[in-house]
Structure 1
Amino acid sequence: MKILGIDEAGRGCVIGPMVLAAVMVTQKSWDRLLKCGVKDSKKLSQKKREALVDEIRDIALGTEITVVPPSKIDEYCAKKRLNVLEAEVAVELIKKRQPDVVYIDAPGRGGHKFKEQLENLLDERQICIVAENHADDNYPVVAAASILAKVTRDNAIEDLRKKFGDFGSGYPSDAKTQHFIDRLCEEQQPLPDYIRHSWSTVKRKLTGEQDQLFMND
C-alpha cells in the first residue's frame, strides 16, 4: 500500500511563499519514520529538522514540493479562497504520486469540508483521504511532510533576508516583521512581490496612510 502525507508551511505568513510538501511511504517505511524521530516540525529545532531531511528522503518512496508565491496567494485571497488554493496544490501532489491513502493536515476547523474539496477536485474515489487538524501530530508521514515544507520555507525566507534585510520570521505577530512592513509601506510603492498584499497587516497600514492623506487634504 502506498501512503502519502501532505502538509504546508508558511500559510499564515505575510512575507514569502507558502510551501506544500508530500512524502510517499509504505507501511514498513512508515515504521522507519517513527524510529528516526520524525514529529511535527514545530516541535523540532532547526538543526534537527535539517538533519532529518536526507533521512526522510532515504526512507520515502518519493517526495514532492510545491512553492506557492505570494502573488498566487493574493489572487486567491482576494476571493477568500485560500483553502481552495491549498486543496488545488494538494491535489496536484496527489496526482503526481497516485497513492492508495492520503493523510493531510486540514486548514480551518475539522477536516470534513477540506476532504470534500479534495475529493471533488481529484475525482478519484478509490483513493482514501484522511484530512484532520493536527495530522502532523498524529501521523508520522504528515510530520515528515511538515519537516520538508518547513525546511524549504525557511531556506526561502533566509534567501529573502540576505537580499532585503532582517524582517524577522515573516509572521504578522512578529514585532520585527511588523516594523519591516511599516517601513516598506511608508517608503516603497508599489510593495515588492515577496509581500502578501492581501494580508490585513498590509491592508491596515496602507488604508491608514490613505485615510491620513485624505484628512490632510
Structure 2
Amino acid sequence: MSLKSKISRGPLAGPVVAAAVILPREFKLLGLNDSKQLNEETRNEYFTIIKNEAVSYGISMIDNQKIDQVNIYEATKLAMYNAIWQLNPAPDHILIDAVSLDQLSCTSESITKGDQESISIAAASILAKVTRDNLMKEIHKDYPAYGFASNMGYGTKQHLDTLTEQGVSPYHRKSFSPVHKAVSQ
C-alpha cells in the first residue's frame, strides 16, 4: 500500500489532496511515474485505470480554511491519515512519499521522491493530482480571473496580479505569504 500527498502543498489556493492506494501485485502500467512529469491526457487515462484496477483507494481533501488554521504540513498529514482510513482492507505496511506519519496502526516507510521509486506511490500521486486539478477547474468557473484552470492555484504572474487587483477568493490560503500580502494591502 502506498500513499502520496505532496500534491498541492505549494499552491496559493485550493485544498491539499492526499491519496492512498493498494494495487494488485501484478499491476503494471508502462510509464507510470511522477504525476507532474506526465501530460494531462495520460494522467487522466491512468487515473481511470488505477481506480478500476486498485484493490482499494482513498482520496482526501483538506480545504484552505483548515490549512490556514493548522498550517500546510499538519493539513497534509491529516489528508494522508484520512486517505489511509478509507482503505479496505487496511494495509499492513505503507510506503509514503517523503513524509513521516507516527500514528499508524501498521509499519511504514518514508521514501524521498517516492513517486519515482514506487509504482504504488506514483499511482497515488496520479489519483491526488487529477482529483485536485479537476476541482481547480470547477473553481475556475466561478473565479476565472485567477486562472485556476491553467495555474491550478500556483502563484503565476497572472494569479498574483489578480490577487493584487481583486483580492482573495474564498479558496485562497490566507496564511500563505503572497495571499497574506494581497489581503493586507
TM-score, normalised by the number of residues in structure 1: 0.76
Percent pairwise identity:
28
CA shift for structure 1 position 144: 0.7
Q: 1:83 to 1:102 in 2, by over 3 A?
A: same
CA distance, structure 1, for counterparts of residue 12 and residue 146 of structure 2:
11
Kept in 1: contact 2:51–2:57 (CA 8 A): yes
CA shift for structure 1 position 131: 1.0
Amino acid at match of 1:101: H
Q: 1:92 to 1:134 in 2, by over 3 A?
A: same
Q: Who is 2:154 aligned against?
A: 171
Q: Which is richer in helix?
A: 1
- Deviation per CA, 1:55-83, whole angstroms, max 9, x where unpaired? 11222101111121111111112xxxx32
Q: Who is 1:12 aligned against?
A: 10
Amino acid at match of 1:38: L
CA distance, structure 2, for counterparts of residue 155 and residue 164 of structure 1:
14
Aligned length: 179
Q: Which has the larger radius of gyration?
A: 1
Kept in 1: contact 2:97–2:110 (CA 8 A): yes
Q: Who is 1:93 aligned against?
A: 83
Kept in 1: contact 2:58–2:84 (CA 8 A): no
Select 1:56's aligned residue among 50, 58, 61. 50
Kept in 2: contact 1:7–1:142 (CA 8 A): no
CA distance, structure 1, for counterparts of residue 179 and residue 18 of structure 2:
24
Amino acid at match of 1:52: Y
1:43 correspondence with 2:37: yes
CA shift for structure 1 position 8: 3.7
Select 1:83's aligned residue among 45, 59, 73. 73
CA distance, structure 2, for counterparts of residue 206 and residue 96 of structure 1:
36
CA distance, structure 2, for counterparts of residue 4 and residue 202 of structure 1:
33
Q: Secondary structure at the match of 1:19?
A: strand
CA shift for structure 1 position 129: 0.7
Q: Secondary structure at the match of 2:14?
A: coil
Select 2:172's aligned residue among 183, 195, 204. 195
CA shift for structure 1 position 11: 1.2
Kept in 2: contact 1:8–1:150 (CA 8 A): no
Q: Secondary structure at the match of 1:12?
A: coil
CA shift for structure 1 position 166: 4.1
CA distance, structure 1, for counterparts of residue 3 and residue 24 of structure 2:
11
- Deviation per CA, 1:152-193, whole angstroms, max 9, x where unpaired? 111111111111114231212x111111211222xxxxx432
CA distance, structure 2, for counterparts of residue 146 and residue 204 of structure 1:
31
